[in-house]
Structure 1
């Protein structure tokens, strides 16, 4: 069984797979008479192919049993998919360039203040929460139109949960 080590989620490390959604290093716009700050252009939502529309959802994720087995990868050929945690809890992200090539897999530890926007066609594991009942805001393509491909792995991988580089 292959065990994936987990690295800290950074914009540079995640760039081949999509975007890290965070406000660190950005200058906010003061709005609402100074009682709120607005951060613009956090992600490029890509769902317009073949007349697609944006869907905004609320997911509530459960913790998977340890060790976390990586058995399924999925991708969305018609649009990006963005996940943003709403409870400040850290979570995990697993991606790859080819589900048949174990060396292409990467695992990332995201802080509770980081989201990801998976690029169109990016292979990724379904949501991996580290705290039960973790809510996520999800922005992706509306409709059931063939925008999901799944690949079940012949050989199970697992995550090395003993060394998670979190905040």
Structure 2
């Protein structure tokens, strides 16, 4: 038995309980480099906790998922946020869930627009990287260092996304 989840468009307001949407739309910006570059400033709250924590910048290459997909597991990172900015021009899914007493509640699924990323807040339940259509590369900013920064939760009854 599985439970169905519908996919909603990603918006800053809908995603606010889980982190920030990374987009230049409406962002504070100003020219730098003698006017040749526009800086879109302070798009996300990068959270780094724990002893000896440090910021990592990585590139992830994710294999595409097909819809409908079966959601069996979510994870969270208690010591830091995790930002994903696509390096391609295709949408991807963002799966998040509210915390309900230390366990994930019913997941929400958002569809990004091309060129829009997300920053998942510290300790927020979320699904794995979920590109659609074809392989996707992402610039990722998250936490490295000492401490256990991964908790996984497997649902007794999976969810069906987009089906």
State the Cα distance separating 1:101 from its structure 2 match. Answer: 6.0
Name the SS for the 2:51 alignment partner: helix
Matched-pair contact (CA < 8 Å) for 1:62–1:131: no
In structure 2, the partner of 1:32 is 33
Contact 1:88 1:112 (8 Å CA) reproduced: yes
Structure 2: distance between partners of 1:95 and 1:143: 24
Counterpart of 2:94 in structure 1 is 93
Give the structure-2-normalised TM-score: 0.90
Q: CA deviation at 1:35?
A: 2.1
Name structure 1 gaps, 5 residues minimum.
162-167
Contact 1:61–1:135 (8 Å) recurs in 2: yes
1:49-98 CA-to-partner distances (Å, cap 9, x unmatched) read 32310000000111124321111100000011111111121111111114
Q: Quote the residue 1:107 is aligned against.
A: 109
Pairs aligned (count): 160
Alignment equivalent of 1:146, drawn from 135, 148, 153: 148
2:6 alignment counterpart? 5
Q: CA deviation at 1:160?
A: 1.3
Say whether the 8 Å CA contact 2:75–2:151 is kept in structure 1.
yes
- In the TM superposition, residue 132 of structure 1 has moved relative to its aligned partner by 1.9
User: Match of 1:82?
Assistant: 83
Rounded to whole Å, the distance in 2 between the matches of 1:152 and 1:27 is: 39
Superposition deviation, residue 16 in structure 1: 0.7
Q: In structure 2, what is the equivalent of residue 165 of structure 1? A: none
Q: Choose between structure 1 and 2: higher helix proportion.
A: 1
Q: CA deviation at 1:27?
A: 4.2
Q: Deviation string for 1:3-51 (max 9, x for gaps)?
A: 1111111111011111111110124211222222111101110014323
DSSP 3-state at the match of 1:13: helix
Cα distance in 2 between the residues matched to 1:79 and 1:27: 24
- Scaled by the length of structure 1, the TM-score of the pair is 0.88
Q: Please provide the CA RMSD for this pair.
A: 1.7
